[in-house]
Amino acid sequence: MRNSKRVIKRDSSLFLVLFIGLAFALQGQKNITLHAKDKISFIGSGITQDGRYHMILQSYLTTRYPDLALEVYNNGISGDVADGVLYRFEKDILALKPDYAFLMLGMNDIQRQLYAEGIDVTQETLNKREEALAHYYQQTTHIVALLKEHDIKPIFLTPTIYDQTAKIDQVNDVGCNEALAKCAAHIRMLALENKAPLVNFYDYLNEINHTAQQKDSTYTIVGPDRIHPGDLGHFAMATKIITSVLDSGKLSAIQINAASNKIELATNCSISKLVSKRKNIKFDVIQEALPFPIADRFKEQETILAPLAINEETLTVKGLKQGNYQLHIDSFMIGEFSATSLASGIDLSVYKNTPQYLQALEVFKLCEAYHKIYGRLRIIALIEYKNLKDYTGPDTTEGKRIYLDQELEKQREKSWHSYLVKMCNAYFEEKPNEKALWKQLTTIRNHIQDKSQSKTHTYLLHKTK
């Protein structure tokens, strides 16, 4: 098995963002080399704490690189800004000793209240907007310097969009998305200066919105609050990372000549025990990787996103006698195909009943379980790094509860009050389980690694007529 993978970045930017031309953005691209047991951190705010995009990405990394045993860490904090990342950098991020860090900030750094609907846009307001952006530029640059100082390789994610264009019944803070465009321009410049990989969420999500809203003005790739993506948005983000900085080539390709009983092509797989008879062709296959699993709740992506070639799993059998053939993989009947279709090649990724795809779905379920456990740990991190940041009382549950209750009372009229109450209550439920939750993460990670290992499958083509 391979101990490292050469991963090629292919990012075709959709727009020119402010001051940075396409040519400069392309110069910032750089291949990523993943090694066995690499640790990958995702640093950001609420969208990263939610974590569905890197949970989906984890399922791809695990199935595509089963021999690498990669570790994925959630370092997102809801509502966080660059200052918050710097505050928690040593204990929350550096302590994990990551090899790579995906960095996405901006949504909160722009201070959306400065763009609130109906706000009186005075010169003071304009100055505050520029100051917020300047501070973001300064502090994200500082974060990158810290990452590099500790030999953590940064991968830059432009911020996601604030949807100003969807015709929905939701307050619209116009100007936020333009501010995020400036954040995206800065991130692109950082990627260029550091010769580091870039994933351009901002342009990509804007383009999806623009295209879909031509048909449905209420469509949004992010959520009904104009900010937080749902399942489809997270899926789009994950696949954008895959096609931008990871190996997004075919899964495998098999070509057999039944007439001569020869294996003509075996790409990313090994074939053995080929036996070609008058009505039956039988052989064993072990692939180097599993298909990328796409759970049912992400099926909507087929109507919005461009088709993905990453799962292409072609089977070509030439030299067959004319007629129809049933394909079985192990005990699973996959389908019936004509000799002509088999000679042209069929794509097994279309069929969701192959044993290798069903195995990949089991990996995805384990990644979901990992994601849910991590979500509980991130509630603890959220409260401790943010809401208990200024707490100086005794390290007791009672003392912290009194302090948090007082802080919650001060924020009673804020829009996030009910969410924060929920998170504080969850904190006191989860904190006693913290060590056990970390152990569960390790256990599930090991299960993911075991489940992702490719198996030998027996392919049988049987002539039916």
Q: Which pLDDT value is given to residue 301? A: 73
Residue listed under structure tokens 């509860």:
401
pTM over 0.75, yes/no: yes
Do 391 and 341 lie in one domain? The reply is no
Beta pairing partners, 51: none
Do 54 and 41 lie in one domain? The reply is yes
Task: Give residue-wise pLDDT tens across range 274-314.
Answer: 999 878 999 999 999 999 998 888 877 766 666 677 889 99
- Asked if 135 contacts 109 with a C-beta cutoff of 8 angstroms, the reply is yes
Task: Give residue-wise pLDDT tens across range 215-270.
Answer: 999 999 999 999 999 999 999 999 999 999 997 778 999 999 999 999 999 999 99
Do 40 and 22 lie in one domain? The reply is yes
Q: Band of the pLDDT at 17, cuts 50, 70, 90?
A: very low
Do 352 and 289 lie in one domain? The reply is yes
Distance CA 300, CA 294 (A): 11
- How many domains would you assign to the chain? 3
In this structure, how many other beta carbons lie within 10 angstroms of the beta carbon of residue 135? 15
In this structure, how many other beta carbons lie within 10 angstroms of the beta carbon of residue 331? 7
Distance CA 199, CA 243 (A): 9
Do 219 and 256 lie in one domain? The reply is no
Do 213 and 290 lie in one domain? The reply is no
Burial label for 461, CB within 10 Å (0-12, 13-18, 19+), is buried
Task: Give residue-wise pLDDT tens across range 37-85.
Answer: 999 999 999 999 999 999 999 999 999 999 999 999 999 999 999 999 9
User: Angle at the Cα of 286 (from 243 to 256), degrees rounded to 5?
Assistant: 90
Q: How far is CA 48 from the centre of its chain?
A: 9
Encoding tokens for residue 23? Answer: 């040519």
Q: Which residues of 236-261 are buried (b: 16+ CB within 10 A; e: fewer)?
A: bbbbbbbbbbbbbebbbbbbbbbeee
Do 153 and 300 lie in one domain? The reply is no
The packing angle between helices 176-193 and 123-149, to 10°, is: 30
Do 308 and 347 lie in one domain? The reply is yes
- With the C-alpha atoms ordered 409, 414, 418, 421, is the resulting torsion angle positive or negative? negative
Q: Which pLDDT value is given to residue 26? A: 45
Q: Examine the fold and report which residue of 245, 260, 279 is the final residue of a domain before the chain moves on.
A: 245
Distance CA 269, CA 266 (A): 6
Q: Which pLDDT value is given to residue 277? A: 87
Domain that holds residue 306: 252-358+452-463
Task: Give residue-wise pLDDT tens across range 163-181.
Answer: 999 999 999 999 999 999 9
Residue listed under structure tokens 């080539």:
249
Q: What distances in angstroms separate CA 387 from CA 77, 83, 328, one per listed residue? A: 11, 14, 57
One-letter-per-residue 3-state SS of 201-229: HHHHHHHHHHHHHCCCCCCCCCCCCCCCC
Burial label for 11, CB within 10 Å (0-12, 13-18, 19+), is buried
3-state percent breakdown (helix, strand, coil) of the chain, nearest 5? 45, 20, 35
Do 262 and 323 lie in one domain? The reply is yes
Q: Which pLDDT value is given to residue 60? A: 96
Q: Which pLDDT value is given to residue 283? A: 98
Distant-in-sequence, close-in-space partners of 28: CB < 8 Å, separation ≥ 6:
188, 191, 192, 193, 194, 195, 196, 197, 198
Say which amino acid occupies 149: E
Task: Give residue-wise pLDDT tens across range 442-451.
Answer: 999 999 999 9
Average pLDDT over residues 149-156: 98
Do 412 and 321 lie in one domain? The reply is no
Average pLDDT over residues 187-213: 97
Q: Examine the fold and report which residue of 183, 217, 245 is the final residue of a domain before the chain moves on.
A: 245
Average pLDDT, the chain: 92
Phi, psi of 122 (to 5 degrees): -90, 175
Q: Examine the fold and report which residue of 201, 228, 245 is the final residue of a domain before the chain moves on.
A: 245
What share of the chain has pLDDT > 90, as a percent?
Answer: 86
Task: Give residue-wise pLDDT tens across range 378-422.
Answer: 999 999 999 999 999 999 999 999 999 999 999 999 888 999 999
